[in-house]
A = this chain, B = another copy of it.
C-alpha cells in the first residue's frame, strides 16, 4: 500500500461471524510480495444477495455472479486482487469456472455456490495456474482476521476498510460485518467496487436482496470519486443463519426494520470508507441537496456537483467558489430555477434565492474549508426532494496516481 490517505480511519473491532471463516494466500497475480487471494468459507445454508455494476463491458465474474445470486445459496467466496479478468473473453470465463470447480470439489457443493470476484488490471486473462495454486494454499491456511482479509482484497487502496453493526431480531442479537475495497474508478448508479457483508442472522435470500438493494440506493449509489464506473463492481451479502433467530422473510416480520437499518448502516460506513480512500483525496465532502422536485432529482444534482472537476478542484484549493456549484446545478439536466437557488458551505449561506448575500461573511466559510470534512448545502426551493452524496476533492495526487499507474 502506498502512503496512507489523510482521511483514513482505524480498522474497527469486528467479531468473528458464526459460519464465516476467512483465509488468505499468495497467488502472485502481481509481483508484489503480499497476499492477493482471499478465500471465505460459508456454512451450509448460507443465503446470498448481490448488486452488480451496470457497466455493459462487465467481467465474467459479474456475469456469473448475477446468475448465481438467483439461486440464493452460497458456500464460498474467492476474491482475486491484482487482475480484474475483465475484457478477457472465453479464456477469462474458463479461469473463473476452474476456480468454482476446484472449490466446489473441496467443499462437496455445487459450483454455483462458489462466488468469485477479481479486481486489478483489465484485459489480461486470470492465470489459471496461479489461481489453482493460490486456492490450494488458501484451503489449508489458518483462518485470518477481518483486517487481514480487508487488506488482501485491496489494490490501490491505502488502508483496509471494514464496518460492523448489530441488530436485535425477536430477542436474538445478530451481527453484520462488512469489508470493502475501492479507491479509483468509483462512480454512481451501481454497487461500487468490491464489497462484502456477512451476518450470522437467518435471512431468506429474497429479503436479503431487498435490504441490500434498498441500502445500496442511498449509499454506494450516492458516492463518487471520479465518475468512472468500474467493470467489476460487486457487493454481496451473506447470511449464515447461525445466530438462531427466527428467519426474516419480509419487512412485516418482527425485527426486519432493525436488520434493514443495520445493513444500511454497514453499507453507509463502507461507502464512506471508499470515499475516504479516494485516489489523491485530501478532503471528504458531503453534498446535501434539499428542495428538489424528487429524491432522485436531488441525487442527480448532488452527483453533478460531486463529479464536477471544477467544484472538486475548488474544494482542494479551499476556495468557496459557489459559482462553480451554480454551474454544476445548472448542467445536471434536472429541474432547477436559478432565482430560487441557495448555496452554502458548512451551514453558512453564501447565496440565497439566486443572488449573492449582500452581507455574506466569508470568514466562517473560509474556516470551514480548511477542515478535512466539508459540507456543501444546496436548496433548490422547488419541492420536498432531498439526497446526500459523498465525494472527495480532486488533487495533484489523483493525477500522479493515474498518469503513472500502469494497470
Seen from chain A, the residues whose Cβ lies within 8 Å of a Cβ on chain B are 54-58, 84, 86-89, 91, 121-124, 184-185, 187, 226-231, 307-310, 313-314, 316-317, 319, 321-324, 326-331, 336-339, 341, 351, 354-356, 394-396, 398-400, 402-407
Q: Which residue of B lies closest to A406 (CB)?
A: B319
Contacts of A307 on B, CB cut-off 8 Å? 227
Of B122, B308, B319, B327, the contact of A57 (CB 8 Å cutoff): B327
Whether A356 pairs with B123 at a CB distance below 8 angstroms is yes
Whether B330 pairs with A56 at a CB distance below 8 angstroms is yes
Contacts of A122 on B, CB cut-off 8 Å? 323-324, 326-327
Whether B86 pairs with A323 at a CB distance below 8 angstroms is yes
Of B58, B231, B396, the contact of A399 (CB 8 Å cutoff): B396
A161 CB to closest chain B CB (Å) equals 21
Whether B407 pairs with A324 at a CB distance below 8 angstroms is yes
Copies of the chain in the assembly:
2
Contacts of A87 on B, CB cut-off 8 Å? 323, 326, 338, 341, 351, 354-356
Q: What are 7 A-B residue pairs whose CB atoms fall within 8 Å in the complex?
A: A57-B326, A57-B330, A87-B323, A226-B310, A313-B399, A317-B405, A396-B400
Whether A336 pairs with B227 at a CB distance below 8 angstroms is no
Whether A185 pairs with B316 at a CB distance below 8 angstroms is no
A184 CB to closest chain B CB (Å) equals 7
Contacts of A341 on B, CB cut-off 8 Å? 57, 87
Contacts of A328 on B, CB cut-off 8 Å? 228
Q: Which residue of B lies closest to A397 (CB)?
A: B399
Contacts of A313 on B, CB cut-off 8 Å? 398-399, 402-403
Q: Say yes or no: A327-B231 contact (C-beta < 8 A), given A123-B322, A403-B313, A403-B314.
A: yes
Contacts of A400 on B, CB cut-off 8 Å? 396
Whether B406 pairs with A226 at a CB distance below 8 angstroms is no
Contacts of A319 on B, CB cut-off 8 Å? 403, 405-406
Of B331, B336, B402, the contact of A310 (CB 8 Å cutoff): B402
Contacts of A399 on B, CB cut-off 8 Å? 313, 316, 394-396, 398-399
- How far is A338 from B55 in the complex, measured between Cα atoms in Å? 10
A102 CB to closest chain B CB (Å) equals 24
- How far is A281 from B86 in the complex, measured between Cα atoms in Å? 30
Q: Which residue of B lies closest to A403 (CB)?
A: B317
- How far is A403 from B356 in the complex, measured between Cα atoms in Å? 22
A348 CB to closest chain B CB (Å) equals 15
Q: Which residue of B lies closest to A89 (CB)?
A: B355
A41 CB to closest chain B CB (Å) equals 31
Top 8 A-B residue pairs of the complex, sorted by shortest distance between their CB atoms: A122-B323, A57-B330, A317-B403, A313-B402, A229-B331, A55-B330, A89-B355, A316-B403
Of B89, B327, B339, B395, the contact of A228 (CB 8 Å cutoff): B327
Whether B407 pairs with A321 at a CB distance below 8 angstroms is yes
Q: Say yes or no: A326-B123 contact (C-beta < 8 A), given A313-B398, A336-B56.
A: yes
A216 CB to closest chain B CB (Å) equals 17
A322 CB to closest chain B CB (Å) equals 6
Whether B330 pairs with A58 at a CB distance below 8 angstroms is yes
- How far is A235 from B322 in the complex, measured between Cα atoms in Å? 25
Whether B228 pairs with A331 at a CB distance below 8 angstroms is yes
- How far is A272 from B25 in the complex, measured between Cα atoms in Å? 51
Of B56, B331, B402, the contact of A338 (CB 8 Å cutoff): B56
A218 CB to closest chain B CB (Å) equals 21
Contacts of A228 on B, CB cut-off 8 Å? 308-310, 324, 327-328, 331
Scoring A91, A124, A355 by chain B CB atoms within 10 A of each residue's CB, the highest score goes to: A355
Contacts of A354 on B, CB cut-off 8 Å? 87, 89
A362 CB to closest chain B CB (Å) equals 11
